[in-house]
């Protein structure tokens, strides 16, 4: 009898230890997403206008993605990245995430992760009467799986985001921020979250406040010293904002390293869409005009780096496609759980884990931002690979030679290879339900 009891206890202890061990082995996940920063903004991607030494270093030591494709605008990208679904499935309106959706926050929380979101929210609805739904809206991040939060743009246009910011933290508006900088406040909160959860698996989602307009001074700009100039608007401050973004990325990555968590942390940086269309970046290939809100590459080709020294022993460029629906299934695999049914993305778990990755053949983008009074130039759908791109209205481009999409290829000039490719893309477009895109004026 004693032997039986001892054996049972021994077996129970082994099982319990295994479960706890598995929990400890789950990698931490940190996802940073800059606001309005196209691929061309990183100096490692050819920018001569900005200096991003730390992001360049992460790309050298980790994986630098050269074909990461977002949505052309902020909310469409946020809905897609959080749910793993194409916009035609669940995108309801600009500035809103359907409360019936399940996000990667829900998924990872259910998998045992401590979860946090900081930065820019912009998902509670822009036309909602705040007071009538105040209690519900203050709990919306938790509804989407985040245990805690520190956020700007909690409902509609919600005050300053940079100097003297208006921030909501776990249901309460922060006070006494007159001399503070919004990106510093939310990144400090992110570090606090990491420190107190260093012994547990954690997920930090940081949709950044930077580098969205208005383009105004950062604490590293000389104008910051004069309170009267902190809200001064000038395109020249965009450079300072890009470089302050690099500084904040370094701040978080350095803390993770100091805590001894780098080997067990998947650290990711990307951006939600292209650079604002009023800005031109000087690059090694000449001037590059931003394309935020538009369908060509300038609107949806974004920087992306993944860093994990334990799994990625030697840095390299990844020259295959990746799109925003791919994050959720990748995170599910990293957490050791099943991807929910109905997800459009493809898991990149092998690549993030330092193994061989089956390449993605095409990317599908559905874009109809439903933004009242918006100035979106392009809206519609496309399927593309690295070289070619087909829109739902029949326009077909060789984007490797015509990234601005100024010269669609006439059908009579298609090679047999291009004709076959066009047919393949059309088949993929045909799998999605039909959609009546709203008409808008071009800007």
Instruction: Answer yes or no: are the C-beta atoms of 115 and 108 closer than 8 Å.
Output: yes
pLDDT beyond 60 at 11: no
Q: What does the DSSP 8-state code read for residue 130?
A: T
Q: What is the pLDDT of residues 335-368, one digit of tens each?
A: 999 999 999 999 999 999 989 999 999 999 999 9
CA atoms within 13 A on the CB side of 442: 3
Instruction: Answer yes or no: are the C-beta atoms of 227 and 176 closer than 8 Å.
Output: no
- Can you give the residue ranges of every domain in the chain? 26-355, 380-430
More confident: 362 or 134: 362
Q: What is the mean pLDDT of residues 262-283?
A: 97
pLDDT on residue 378: 74
pLDDT beyond 70 at 15: no
Q: What is the mean pLDDT of residues 263-278?
A: 97
pLDDT on residue 130: 63
Name the residue among 26, 17, 19, 59 with its Cα closest to residue 264: 26
Q: What is the mean pLDDT of residues 374-384?
A: 80
Dihedrals φ, ψ of 69, to 5°?
-120, 120
Q: Report the alpha-carbon distance of residue 20 to residue 236 in Å, rounded.
A: 52
Per-residue CA distances from 249 to 19, 149, 215, 306, 353 (Å): 33, 18, 19, 12, 21
The β-bridge partners of 196 are none
pLDDT beyond 70 at 369: yes
Provide, rounded to the nearest whole percent, the portion of the chain with pLDDT above 70: 89
pLDDT on residue 392: 95
Q: Which residues have C-beta within 8 Å of that of residue 97, sequence separation ≥ 6?
A: 78, 79, 82, 83, 103, 123, 144
Dihedrals φ, ψ of 14, to 5°?
-65, -45
pLDDT on residue 136: 85
| pLDDT range class, residue 25, cuts 50, 70, 90 | confident
pLDDT on residue 377: 62
Q: What is the pLDDT of residues 176-227, one digit of tens each?
A: 999 999 999 999 999 999 999 999 999 999 999 999 999 999 999 999 999 9
Neighbours of 400 (CB within 10 A): 12
Evaluate if pTM is beyond 0.85: yes
Q: What is the pLDDT of residues 115-133, one digit of tens each?
A: 999 999 999 986 656 667 7
CATH of domain 26-355: 3.40.720.10
Q: What is the mean pLDDT of residues 371-399?
A: 87
Q: What does the DSSP 8-state code read for residue 408?
A: P
Q: Which residues have C-beta within 8 Å of that of residue 12, sequence separation ≥ 6?
A: none
pLDDT on residue 12: 41
pLDDT beyond 80 at 437: no
pLDDT on residue 128: 56
* CA-angle at 403, arms to 377 and 373, nearest 5°: 10
User: Mean pLDDT across the chain, nearest whole number?
Assistant: 91
pLDDT on residue 314: 93
Instruction: Answer yes or no: are the C-beta atoms of 246 and 37 closer than 8 Å.
Output: no
Residue 177, both tokens = 């921020």
């Amino acid at each position: 009898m004693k032997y039986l009891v001892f054996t049972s206890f021994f077996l129970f202890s082994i099982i319990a230890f295994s479960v706890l061990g598995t929990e400890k082995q789950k990698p931490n996940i940190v996802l940073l997403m800059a606001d309005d920063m196209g691929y061309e903004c990183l100096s490692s991607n050819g920018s001569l206008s900005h200096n991003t030494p730390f992001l360049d270093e992460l790309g050298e030591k980790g994986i630098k993605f050269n074909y990461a494709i977002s949505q052309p605008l902020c909310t469409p990208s946020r809905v897609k990245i959080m749910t793993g679904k194409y916009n035609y499935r669940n995108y309801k309106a600009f500035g809103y995430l359907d409360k019936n959706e399940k996000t990667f926050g829900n998924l990872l929380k259910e998998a045992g992760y401590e979860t946090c979101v900081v930065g820019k929210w912009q998902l509670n609805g822009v036309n909602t009467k705040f007071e009538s739904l105040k209690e519900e809206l203050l709990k919306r991040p938790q509804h989407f799986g985040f245990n805690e939060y520190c956020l700007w743009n909690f409902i509609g246009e919600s005050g300053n985001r940079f100097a003297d910011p208006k921030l909501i933290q776990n249901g309460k508006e922060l006070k006494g921020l007159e001399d503070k900088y919004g990106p510093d406040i939310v990144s400090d909160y992110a570090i606090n979250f990491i420190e107190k959860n260093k012994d547990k698996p954690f997920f930090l989602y940081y949709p950044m406040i930077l580098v969205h307009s208005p383009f105004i001074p950062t604490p590293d700009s000389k104008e910051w010293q004069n309170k009267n100039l902190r809200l001064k608007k000038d395109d020249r401050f965009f450079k300072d904002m890009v470089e302050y973004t690099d500084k904040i990325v370094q701040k978080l990555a350095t803390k993770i390293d100091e805590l001894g968590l780098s080997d067990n942390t998947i650290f990711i940086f990307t951006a939600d869409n292209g650079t604002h269309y009023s800005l031109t970046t000087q690059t090694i290939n000449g001037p590059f005009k931003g394309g935020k809100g538009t369908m060509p590459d300038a609107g949806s080709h974004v920087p992306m780096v993944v860093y994990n020294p334990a799994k990625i022993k030697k840095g390299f460029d990844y020259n295959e496609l990746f799109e925003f629906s791919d994050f959720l299934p990748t995170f599910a695999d990293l957490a050791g759980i099943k991807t929910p049914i109905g997800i459009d993305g493809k898991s990149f778990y092998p690549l993030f884990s330092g193994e061989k990755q089956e390449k993605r053949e095409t990317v599908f983008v559905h874009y109809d931002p439903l933004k009242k009074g918006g100035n979106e130039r392009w809206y519609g759908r496309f399927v593309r690979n690295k070289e070619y791109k087909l829109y739902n209205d029949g326009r077909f481009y060789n984007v490797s030679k015509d990234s601005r999409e100024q010269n669609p290829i006439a059908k009579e000039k298609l090679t047999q290879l291009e004709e076959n490719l066009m047919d393949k893309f059309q088949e993929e477009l045909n799998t999605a339900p039909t959609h009546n895109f709203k008409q808008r004026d071009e800007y």
